[in-house]
Amino acid sequence: MKTFRAHPTSIRVLFVTLIGLASLPTALSASKSNVTIQVVQNSTWVRRSPPGVPYTAGYLRLKNTASREVRLTGAQSPICRVVELHTHVHEAGSVHMKKIDAIPVGPGQEVELKPESLHLMFIDLKSDAFGSTSIPIHLQFSDGTSLDVLAELRDYGKDGHGHSPEPQTQKGNS
């Protein structure tokens, strides 16, 4: 599994992990017994930056199974000093990145963070940031829940050049 959850109680984590292992390739992430926000399976990846570049971007697809809007409000990762939520502003042949406070996901909807669009911005990468092909990311949401996911580290030429993975329908695991 590329992604999995971590949650308040270790028992729940163990339980959900076992369920996930038993039902591969399905389960991904949930927050509490009343599932709200999920990360679509195999949708989480981080681009390996060129040598010497201390920034990179990460992507994923969020699915909200709740009946109310949930917003992604923050992220952290041990591979860098700061993770910010960013979008791109396109204006007549030019573009710039812009930090945003949150990424809303409407009830029953999916939102994709993808190249040249919404993304996680990893700032001030540590020297050993790409020492592993799995990048831990902690996601925080407006409903007070959080998710821990493992993102796949992708090289250029291996889908790390700008193509997001094919969306895969996720099954919730409430």
Q: Where are the alpha helices (DSSP H) in the chain?
A: 10-22
Nearest to 31, CA basis, from 119, 121, 118, 142: 142
Binding flag, residue 127, another protein (CB under 8 A): no
Residue 93 or 131 with smaller CB distance to another protein: 93
Of 17-25, 94-102, 131-139, 143-151, the segment contacting another protein by CB under 8 A is: 94-102
Binding flag, residue 68, another protein (CB under 8 A): no
Residue 11 or 51 with smaller CB distance to another protein: 51
| CA distances from residue 5 to 95, 123, 139, 163 in whole angstroms, order as listed | 35, 24, 10, 25
CA angle (30, 152, 136) in 5-degree steps: 60
**Smallest gap from residue 114 Cβ to another protein (A):** 10
Instruction: Give the H or E element holding residue 84.
Output: strand 80-91
- Which of 9, 96, 131, 166 is in the footprint of another protein by CB under 8 A? 96
Residues that bind another protein (CB under 8 A): 47, 49-57, 81-82, 84, 86, 88-99, 115-116, 119, 121-124, 156-157, 161-162
